[in-house]
Amino acid sequence: MSSTHLSGTFTLGTHTVKRLGYGAMQLAGPGVFGPPKDPETAIAVLREVVANGVNHIDTSDFYGPHYTNQIIRQALHPYADDLVIVTKIGARRDEQGAWLPAFSPAELTQAVHDNLRNLGLDVLDVVNLRCMFDAHGPAEGSLEEPLSVLAELQQQGLVRHIGLSNVTSAQVAQGQKICEIVCVQNNYNLVHRDDDALIDELAGKGIAYVPFFPLGGFTPLQSTTLSDVAQQVGASPMQVALAWLLQRSPNILLIPGTSSLAHLKENLAAAQLKLPGEAIAKLNAI
């Protein structure tokens, strides 16, 4: 069976994308800071991503900062017509690499222009507003001012579609009163399921849900149940974790990241893995 058949597609803005995409965060240096340790491999990974039919790449100009977008441009520009590059604004890095909020109108506007320049684009397909009211996860706070800035940039023709990242259900509802929201990007995976209700709510509205850290992020997923299921279905634990997400809800788009060609191959193969009902039941019980 083809990967497209099993993982399917979903609408992201005005594009139809394959549900298994690619996250470019790990192409930057250690701690997502500084240049890639191996620029040639980073370019090879990006070209292999596109060669395998992936048409959704997630990035941000604060990865590096700047390096990740610059290497995407170097590897893939001019871009294929069906390639959707999604970026994020709302944060910045200091000289030591610490993550800081960048929510003022000037900072948000600058970030859009930085993304355009470093990616070599005239318009950004999708821009996620990354909310940093709390360093540890979504926290309530008004999005009216920053989202209005982004909506204005959309009206100027610099941004096609707008998404939200690190947000609550109430913030999504507030955002929808300001502009159309095409996706939500929050932390979600097999062992971090705070967003179960939000995923279902968004699915009902036809809005994409994009889990960041689908494999656990800086602390990779570990579970005896996950390892057991992986052994039973003849796949790696990470492939099972990705397949579980694809089967969790049709509006979930995956963006697993890697700087390794071998890991990329493993991740892409997860699109062909169909977990049986008993395996899903075991994983749901984690």
Annotated catalytic sites, by residue? 63
Q: Which residue from 187, 185, 190 is spatially nearest to 238, judged by alpha carbons?
A: 190
| CA gap 122, 77 in Å, rounded | 13
| CA gap 181, 275 in Å, rounded | 31
Residue carrying structure tokens 């290497």: 71
Centre a 10 Å sphere on the Cβ of residue 119 and count the other Cβ atoms it contains. Answer: 22
Cβ contacts of 270 within 8 Å, gap of 6 or more: 20, 235, 238, 239, 240, 242, 243, 246, 256
